[in-house]
Amino acid sequence: MAGPVVALVGLFMVGFPGLLIGIIVGLGLYVWSSRWGCTLDTDAIVIEAVATRRIPWSDVQAISYQISRLSTAATIVDKKGKVWMLRAPAHSSFAPDPLLRTKMTEIENFWKAHRGSDWREMSSIASGLQPWQRAE
């Protein structure tokens, strides 16, 4: 969505050269952001976005997702209480991926299997989470 906006702003500001630059920048942003996502390793979840982050499974306190008619949100909360947004897959521009529940359940099951026997839920973080976000 950012590509067309950049192209229109470029067109109105400087004419055809601005439109051309806006299209190039928009395509670049689209290709770059299409590579964002996450990878599950046995010791960490790797979040690929603007910067790549590795969060060890033992540091993950919660995994949750929300689906509405127009959007999806997938998040991970680490032991410091920081919320990490995952790129929630979309079926189209305004429709959530019908497989989101399946994908998030797979991530949650992988976390539970690989977080280690010494993992403990931190009550200070769990108390701030919604009931459905808390670990069982």
CATH 2.30.29.30, the chain: domain bounds:
36-133
d(CA 122, CA 77): 11
Mean confidence (pLDDT) of the chain: 77
Q: Exposed, middle or buried, 133 (CB in 10 Å: 0-12/13-18/19+)?
A: middle
d(CA 101, CA 74): 10
H or E segment to which residue 62 belongs: strand 60-67
Amino acid 29: pLDDT: 72
Q: Please state the pTM of the whole predicted model.
A: 0.66
Amino acid 131: pLDDT: 60
pLDDT tens digits, 59-89: 998 888 877 776 677 888 888 888 888 876 5
Amino acid 43: pLDDT: 92
pLDDT tens digits, 19-51: 777 778 777 777 776 667 788 889 999 988 778
Amino acid 88: pLDDT: 62
| Class of 36-133 in CATH | mainly beta
d(CA 91, CA 100): 10
